[in-house]
């Protein structure tokens, strides 16, 4: 009788272990599906996957935290759009709450620390782009500690490497840009070189964040000195090849073409982007900005008429689309006026751009407008795929 009881208990343990493994595999499969759909530009379908994950696995924070990733992809093109703020905050808080419950039950749960760290950093990012830097720093530092704890508990948890690397990289930039923060206790802790290495390793070695890391690495390669335009082009070409219907990736591809001086390619790709079909309101918004690239590229190769025709897509009294659009359209109008010799009119547009309360994505337009006020705009000298630029041109990216 006692042997039968032992056998029965052993069977129960095997069943429990099998159920746990099935559950974990199911979560992993849903996460992979949702991430893939997000990168394909099928954000509504990804939302349904995250809802399924939350329903079928209510005690797992994955569905909440990954939902925020999809929401940020919606908001990334226009951070001035506040329509997603409430959903980002709610899903981040729910993911954090569930992760905290799991950590309270088992402090050594590495994945719970990973999800809690990501949820807190999501909240910190939202606070930061809305200018609430105290709470942004507080959330960010709490998130960093949990991500570091996750890696300490499980050094093989590659998924934690990307968000931690992202935080390290940008926190290092923040501390260099805002020296006055150093007296506050929440000062972000970051090491830019370590952060960049983590992002590069994620791009190379996979994990659920591999595509995110590749997209961010392409952006970093174009955004910060030293510029690595060839690297950025390689990364974004690969992503566009695998996710051709993702309009935001296509937009990034055009950005890389412009930055590398391939202006004819910019014009061709902007037509392809604009002629795309399907998707949601975000895709429509992104496509509506394609003529701006044609106008800017046209100016660089001397196609003034083409640039003028492209700018007709942006009426003077039209609403900003997106929030940063007015600054870049105004800058391009000013540069066009400079090229045709209407210096006084150009200066008036440069002044309007400088006076705008511009969001992050258009600050460089304001900086270039200040350059334009000091020195009339002149096209670069194109030489095949390489071009010589005036100081500041390589930083011009809408």
Encode pLDDT of 156-171 as tens digits: 999 999 999 999 988 8
Pairwise CA distance, residues 396 & 223, whole Å? 9
Higher pLDDT: 320 or 53? It is 53
**Which tokens hold the place of 278?**
């399907």
Higher pLDDT, 226 or 249: 249
- Lowest-pLDDT choice from 71-75, 96-100, 182-186, 311-315: 182-186
pLDDT in the model for residue 9: 41
Alpha helices in the chain (DSSP H): 2-39, 43-56, 62-75, 85-105, 110-129, 133-153, 161-177, 192-205, 210-223, 229-242, 247-259, 263-274, 281-288, 290-300, 304-311, 325-339, 343-355, 363-374
> For position 19, what pLDDT does the model report?
41
More confident residue, 395 or 43: 43
Give me the pLDDT at residue 381, please: 52
Q: Is the pLDDT of residue 121 over 90?
A: yes
Residue 396 pLDDT greater than 80, yes or no: no
Q: If pLDDT is split at 50, 70 and 90, which confidence band does 386 have?
A: very low
Task: Name the pLDDT band for 356 (thresholds 50, 70, 90).
Answer: confident
Q: In whole numbers, what is the pLDDT of the chain averaged over residues?
A: 85
Mean pLDDT of 12-39: 68
Per-residue confidence at 398, pLDDT binned at 50, 70, 90? Answer: low
Q: Are 309 and 302 in contact (CB under 8 A)?
A: no
Which residues does 267 contact at the CB level (< 8 Å), separation at least 6?
293, 294, 297, 298, 306
CB-CB contact of 125 with 157 (8 Å): no
394 has a pLDDT exceeding 50: no
pLDDT at 22: 41
pLDDT 10s digits, 258-315: 998 999 999 999 999 999 888 888 999 999 999 999 999 999 999 999 999 999 999 8
pLDDT value for 168: 92
Region of 388 please: left (phi>0), alpha (psi -120 to 50) or beta.
Answer: beta
Task: Note the pLDDT of residue 190.
Answer: 62
More confident residue, 355 or 17: 355
Tokens 């051709």, located at residue: 244
pLDDT tens-place string over residues 200-209: 999 998 889 9
Q: What integer pLDDT is reported at residue 13 of this predicted model? A: 37
For residue 22, give both structure tokens.
């099935």
pLDDT digits (tens, 9 = 90+) for 63-93: 999 999 999 999 999 998 999 999 999 999 9
What ranges in 243-362 are assigned the alpha helix state H? 247-259, 263-274, 281-288, 290-300, 304-311, 325-339, 343-355
Q: What pLDDT sits at residue 27?
A: 93
pLDDT tens digits, 209-245: 999 999 999 999 888 755 788 899 999 999 999 999 9
């Amino acid at each position: 009788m006692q042997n039968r009881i032992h056998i029965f208990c052993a069977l129960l343990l095997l069943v429990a272990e099998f159920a746990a493994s099935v559950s974990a595999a199911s979560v992993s499969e849903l996460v992979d599906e949702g991430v893939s759909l997000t990168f394909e530009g099928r954000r509504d379908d990804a939302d349904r996957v995250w809802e399924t994950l939350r329903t079928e696995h209510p005690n797992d924070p994955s569905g909440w935290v990954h939902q925020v990733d999809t929401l940020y992809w919606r908001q990334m093109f226009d951070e001035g759009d506040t329509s997603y703020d409430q959903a980002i905050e709610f899903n981040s808080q729910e993911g954090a709450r569930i992760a905290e419950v799991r950590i309270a039950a088992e402090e050594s749960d590495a994945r719970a620390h990973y999800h809690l760290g990501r949820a807190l950093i999501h909240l910190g990012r939202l606070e930061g782009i809305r200018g609430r830097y105290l709470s942004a720093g507080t959330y960010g530092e709490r998130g960093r500690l949990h991500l570091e704890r996750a890696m300490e508990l499980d050094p093989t948890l590659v998924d934690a490497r990307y968000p931690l690397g992202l935080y390290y990289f940008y926190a290092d930039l923040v501390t260099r840009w805002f020296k006055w923060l150093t007296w506050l206790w929440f000062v972000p802790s970051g090491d830019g070189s370590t952060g960049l290495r983590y992002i590069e390793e994620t791009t190379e070695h996979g994990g659920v964040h591999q595509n995110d890391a590749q997209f961010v690495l392409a952006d970093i390669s174009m955004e910060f000195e030293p510029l690595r335009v060839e690297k950025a082009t390689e990364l974004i070409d690969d992503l566009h090849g695998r996710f051709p219907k993702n309009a935001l990736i296509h937009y990034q591809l055009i950005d890389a073409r412009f930055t590398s001086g391939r202006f004819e390619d910019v014009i061709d790709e902007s037509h392809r982007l604009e002629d795309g079909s399907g998707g949601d309101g975000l895709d429509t918004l992104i496509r509506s900005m394609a003529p701006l690239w044609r106008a800017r590229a046209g100016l660089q190769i001397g196609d003034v008429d083409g640039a003028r025709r492209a700018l007709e897509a942006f009426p003077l009294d039209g609403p900003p689309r997106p929030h940063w659009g007015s600054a870049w359209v105004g800058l391009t109008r000013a540069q066009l006026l400079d090229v045709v010799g209407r210096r006084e009119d150009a200066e008036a547009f440069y002044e309007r751009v400088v006076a705008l309360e511009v969001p992050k994505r258009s600050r460089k337009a304001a900086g270039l407008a200040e350059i334009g006020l000091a020195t009339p705009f002149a096209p670069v000298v194109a030489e095949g795929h390489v071009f010589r630029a005036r100081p500041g041109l390589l930083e011009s990216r809408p």
